[in-house]
C-alpha cells in the first residue's frame, strides 16, 4: 500500500556556508526504504543528500490522509517564508 511520507534531507551547504543545508520533501512510497530513495531524488542542494528524519503521514491535525492515484502537481503553490504574510506571534 502506498503512503505519503515527509522526509527531511540534509547535505553540503552552499559555498561560504558553515553548516549543511536542509529541505523537507514529500513523497509517495510503499515503505521506508523506497521513501528514502524517492526523497533523495528530489534533493535540490549540492552534492549527495542524506536523510535526517522521515515520517509516514496517515493523519495530520485530526484529518486522515488518503491518496488517490491520478492527481497532478499542476496548480500546487510553494510559498517561501520570505514571501508569506507573517504572524506577529512567532
At 19-46, the pLDDT tens digits run: 888 999 999 999 999 999 999 999 988 8
Query: Residue 88: its pLDDT value, please?
Result: 59
- Beta pairing class for 21-29 and 46-57: unpaired
Q: Is the pLDDT of residue 84 over 80?
A: no
- Which CATH number is correct for 3-58, 3.10.20.10, 3.40.50.300, 3.40.190.10, 3.40.50.2300? 3.10.20.10
Q: CB atoms < 10 A from the CB of 26, how many?
A: 13
**62 near 8, Cβ under 8 Å?**
no
CA 14 to chain centre: 19
pTM above 0.95, yes or no: no
Q: How many helices (H) and strands (E) does the chain have?
A: 1, 5
Report the length, in residues, of the chain.
90
Amino acid at each position: 500500500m502506498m503512503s505519503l511520507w515527509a522526509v527531511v534531507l540534509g547535505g553540503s551547504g552552499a559555498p561560504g556556508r558553515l553548516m549543511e543545508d536542509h529541505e523537507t520533501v514529500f513523497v509517495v512510497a510503499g515503505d521506508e526504504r523506497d521513501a528514502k530513495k524517492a526523497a533523495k531524488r528530489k534533493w535540490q542542494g549540492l552534492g549527495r543528500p542524506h536523510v535526517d528524519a522521515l515520517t509516514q503521514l496517515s493523519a495530520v491535525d485530526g484529518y486522515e490522509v488518503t491518496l488517490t492515484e491520478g492527481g497532478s502537481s499542476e496548480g500546487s503553490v510553494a510559498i517561501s517564508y520570505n514571501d508569506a504574510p507573517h504572524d506577529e506571534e512567532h
